[in-house]
Structure 1
Amino acid sequence: MNSTTSPELTQFAEDVLAGLSASPKHLSSRYFYDDEGSRLFMEIMKLPEYYPTRAELRIFEDQKDGILKAFSDGAEGIDLIELGAGDGAKTAVLIEHILAKGLDFTYSPIDISQEANAALEARFREKFPSLEIRPHTGDYFQVLDSLRSQNGRRKVLMFLGSNIGNFLREKAVDFFRSLRQVMNPNDRLFIGFDMQKDPRVIVAAYDDPQGVTAAFNLNLLTRINRELGGDFDLSKFSHYAQYRPVECAARSFLISREKQTVHIKALSRSFEFDQWEAIFMEISQKYTHAMLEELSSDSGFAIEDEFLNETDFYIDSLWRPV
């Protein structure tokens, strides 16, 4: 690999090399969200089959009083910090309510996509002229570490949209423990969890007939082509989704439609694919209440409050460091 390659690109290259050299092959979903990936995910959130966005929005609309009370209880003001804010549609409901209540607060979205951050900032500045918004582009933990000692106010970290479901359990615990390290005792963590439900509803959410989820997965191959000099032919791969009820996990794959060889210039490597060979792309973990209790405890947190959408079996859970 070229020594002039940026550290992030080098990590991308190393992860692609490790994933495509493994058996079975896999790619990391952390690289889905370049500018085009972020745009496609915003499309996914609007699909009729993709229920998590609507389920969480309903929680914010119906329970905003309780959420705000839980956020601000015992605090004179709060810094609302959102990890991967996307289009901010759900957060806008909460921000509008906080502004109406006159609570002293700031809003800091953190995203790895500069384009997504810029679009969100422009939208919110127009919608909420009085909002104190401080967007940050970069790695979650580096940004949070820089914000930790900014002031003594309570920081409420929000990780919405059931994005934590994209982590295998061990990685989820590592992620939460890392967040715990950059939080003060009075801070809080607010996380969206998609709960166990009818498997047919779950499968439909990750295999929409419009093909947007397929395009979202295939975009990672486009990114490899663009940034690492790959020659993936996207027409030779198809998207496949499944749900395993025993594991409470939906999984997404890209399937090689024929026997083929893919070259990646930055890696100075070629990779062989058999016909119908799979690349594991993403997990979307679903949860039970017992799983949430165990996950919070193992990560150094205690569940302080929960806000449930009983129709769609979705929970926004508020955790405090212990």
Structure 2
Amino acid sequence: MNKQFAIDVKEGLSTSPKRLSSKYFYDEKGSALFSKIMKLPEYYLTNAEFEIFEKKASEIIKLLGVTHQKSFDLIELGAGDGYKTIELLKALDAHHFQYQYTPIDISAKALDQIEKNIHQQLPNKKISPKLGDYFHILHDLKPSPLSKVILFLGSNIGNMENVEANSFLTHLSENLSKGDKLILGVDLKKSKDIVLPAYNDSQGVTSAFNLNLLSRINSELDADFNTDLFEHTPMYDEQEGVAKSAIKSIVNQEVEIKSLDMKVAFKKEEQIHTEISRKYDDIIIQKICLNTGLNIVGKITDSQNYFADYIIEKQ
């Protein structure tokens, strides 16, 4: 049994309002479902950022200020399958830049996949994948004399509240040297007509992805959640720019979690909050960079202005 998972489930379902961390979505089934989500027509985020890396890689490289005279470390946090990053690697290789690519992920399966993908598209490219926690590995890499370019893509920072995002960037900054760069991919504020379908697709894949969290509790903590009695509930505050996901009980019911020796009562319409997905503009980005030692030096968007990659420099 995953002890931290058990602790967090017990704590989250004992609070009011109830909540579960989105980091637990990604068991084997959840990861497979999220891969499907990223390919859905409604899920614009992946294609929008891919367009930036496919069509504007030269602009990114220019803003990074890298030169042919000096090698640098290209380090990706939460690399996933490397689908977008490979476009940047292609551009760097085409212009003969010297760099070492180090993808970091907590999933060995993800690192295996990115190695396969890079081998297929860039067969002569050698990479240095690292399995583990971002900051532990960055701390170990800090003494390198090479300058660093950090990739944190996919609007992963959007899963954090602003205070948490500021703390994350502060911690990241502490592991960088003056002049090092960060490419921060974020989803931009836009209308609910565009945002909500991305979290409530017509095929029901996102719903299955969220409800799988209850199935995971069933299998790992010996619970008796009936997923037919819960439903995925997406919300979006257009003015604030925050999308939220919850799992809502559609009846009054009680669930037993035997491994935790607890019973959890749900009222009809009661929600378990699972995820936030912050949407950004320049003001919010500046706010989360405040007092971090990081300064925005550039911004590149896709053709529809749905997504942006900010280039940020350690001062």
Q: Specify if TM > 0.5.
A: yes
CA RMSD of aligned residues (A): 1.7
2:48 to 48, 52, 55: 55
Q: Could you say which residue in structure 1 is the equivalent of 2:75? A: 81
Q: Give the 3-state SS of the residue equivalent to 1:124 in structure 2.
A: helix
Q: Give the 3-state SS of the residue equivalent to 2:31 in structure 1.
A: helix
Q: Give the 3-state SS of the residue equivalent to 2:46 in structure 1.
A: helix
2:15 to 2, 6, 22: 22
Q: Could you say which residue in structure 1 is the equivalent of 2:244? A: 251
Taking structure 1 as the reference length, what is the TM-score of the superposition? Answer: 0.92
Structure 2 residue 122 is matched with structure 1 residue 125: no
Q: Distance in 1 between matches of 2:11 and 2:223?
A: 15
Q: Could you say which residue in structure 2 is the equivalent of 1:186? A: 179
CA contact (8 A) 1:72 1:78 kept: no
Q: Distance in 1 between matches of 2:255 and 2:240?
A: 33
1:40 to 33, 45, 51: 33
Q: Could you say which residue in structure 2 is the equivalent of 1:13? A: 6
Q: Distance in 1 between matches of 2:131 and 2:291?
A: 29
Q: Deviations over 1:54-84 (max 9, x none)?
A: 1111111221111122234357112111112
Q: Could you say which residue in structure 1 is the equivalent of 2:141? A: 147
Q: Deviations over 1:101-157 (max 9, x none)?
A: 1111121211222212212212212321221212222222222222222x2111211
Aligned length in residues: 314
CA contact (8 A) 2:255 2:264 kept: yes
Q: Give the 3-state SS of the residue equivalent to 1:266 in structure 2.
A: helix
Q: Distance in 1 between matches of 2:138 and 2:80?
A: 18
1:90 to 84, 98, 102: 84
Amino acid at match of 1:23: S
Q: Distance in 1 between matches of 2:176 and 2:90?
A: 26
The percent of aligned pairs where both chains have the same amino acid is 42
CA contact (8 A) 2:196 2:234 kept: yes
Structure 2 residue 160 is matched with structure 1 residue 167: yes
Sort the Cα spacing of 1:104 and 1:312 in 2 relative to 1 into closer, same or farther, 3 A.
Answer: same
**Gapped runs of 5+ residues in structure 2?**
none
Q: Give the 3-state SS of the residue equivalent to 1:299 in structure 2.
A: coil
Q: Give the 3-state SS of the residue equivalent to 2:56 in structure 1.
A: helix
**Gapped runs of 5+ residues in structure 1?**
none
How far off its partner does 1:310 sit?
4.5
Q: Could you say which residue in structure 1 is the equivalent of 2:280? A: 287
Q: Could you say which residue in structure 2 is the equivalent of 1:111? A: 105
